[in-house]
Structure formats: structure tokens, C-alpha cells
Amino acid sequence: MPSPLLHPIIAIIAGILILIRPALLAYIVAIYLIIVGVLELAVIY
């Protein structure tokens, strides 16, 4: 089971990366959604 702090930490890192490199927005959002989806599936199964 993933740590409850994992999602906020991932979101903060993604936000900082977007502020530093706005051109990476689409990639960061895509990676974030994939990571969150995998973590949620890990909790369900």
C-alpha cells in the first residue's frame, strides 16, 4: 500500500518542474496521471 504522503509529494515535484520548465507540462501531467493510476490500482488489488 502506497504511503499517504506519496501523492502530495508527487504533485509538489510536478508543480516545481512545471514552474521551472513550462514546456514540459504535457509530459509531466501524463507521467503524473500514469503514476497516480498505477498507485490507485495497487491499492485496489
Give residue-wise pLDDT tens across range 19-43: 999 998 999 999 999 998 888 888 8
- Residue 16 has which C-alpha cell? 516545481
Does the pLDDT value for residue 44 go beyond 90? no
- State pTM to two decimals: 0.72
